[in-house]
Amino acid sequence: MNDFAKIGGSAAGAADSVAGLLGSLGSDQPDPAASKKMLTAAWFEFDIRAPGEPRRTIRRPVFDLLGPSARASTPVPRVELDEARLLTRSLSLTMETEMLPVVSRISDDFVSHLLAQSVLANRETLRAVVRGEFSETSIRPEEAFNRLAPMPGPLYTLARARLDWNRFDDAIYIDTVDILTRHLFFVPAGNKIAVRDATDIVANEVGVDFSVEDAFAARVEQGVLDTNAEAVLHRGPRSAAVRQTPSRHRAIG
């Protein structure tokens, strides 16, 4: 499993789904059944499996024009796709998501190693930028930047901060897979389109050693630290942090 997974093809896959649900695009013989269907929601499903633990599936919405209560009703009501809903759906499907699975504390040396790997992989492009070797007749700068190997992003900062800031040191640890995500997406903002940057600690289980006298206080403190770590990561005026679900911590010896 890669430490850093960038889901760049999600929008393309979702667009294919839209084409299938809304009809056969570019066909002289559209599918009559497809015209009765519409794409009203998209979401991520995280399937977490760990030895000795029950399987867990966590869902995070990308967009939902209907809502969970209406979706659970029988029959499911039809959504009127007005201009606002169509815009919301289209913008949501352009979302770019980074995911970082975490199974242990992340050290400064490890992040430095990842950074050095990225710089080495990108050294030819970086040299061309410094020397001004790009031109309209050769490779365009934006094309070169799109091929750059990713560098460690803010999720590594979040993964380190949420454990480095607690006062219990190694008495609090990750005992199963934690999942951190970061989303970049567009949203309507009046008559303009705004960019949003959101993080979410999807799975945040930690173990608390029996040496901690008040395990409950340690769990509460860790939950507060998780939320604060997200907030610190989003101090910019154009970013929005996703509200974190309640922490689920356990005492493990």
**Digit-coded pLDDT (tens) for 116-159:** 888 888 887 777 767 766 655 556 656 666 677 777 888 898 88
Quote the Cα angle for 246-242-227, to 5°: 50
- Give me the phi and psi of 68, to 5 degrees please: -65, -40
The mean pLDDT of the chain is 74
- CA nearest neighbour of 149 among 114, 182, 183: 114
pLDDT at residue number 134: 63
pLDDT less than 50: residues of the chain? 1-15, 17-19, 21-27, 236-253
Domain residue ranges in the chain: 5-251
- CA nearest neighbour of 155 among 201, 217, 207, 204: 201
pLDDT at residue number 141: 59
**Where would I find the H helices in the chain?**
10-22, 68-72, 83-92, 108-121, 123-131, 141-146, 154-164, 215-233
pLDDT at residue number 138: 58
pLDDT at residue number 222: 84
Q: List, in order, residues 6 or more apart from 72 with CB less than 8 Å away.
A: none
52 secondary structure, DSSP code: T
Pair 236, 197: CB distance under 8 Å: yes
Compute the distance between CA of residue 114 and CA of residue 96 in angstroms, rounded to an integer.
21
pLDDT at residue number 15: 46
Q: Is the pTM of this model over 0.75?
A: no
pLDDT at residue number 180: 92
pLDDT at residue number 241: 43
Compute the distance between CA of residue 253 and CA of residue 250 in angstroms, rounded to an integer.
10
pLDDT at residue number 21: 46
pLDDT at residue number 66: 85
AA identity, residue 243: R
Rounded to 10°, the helix 108-121/154-164 angle is 170
Pair 228, 161: CB distance under 8 Å: no
Tokens describing residue 53: 């633990």
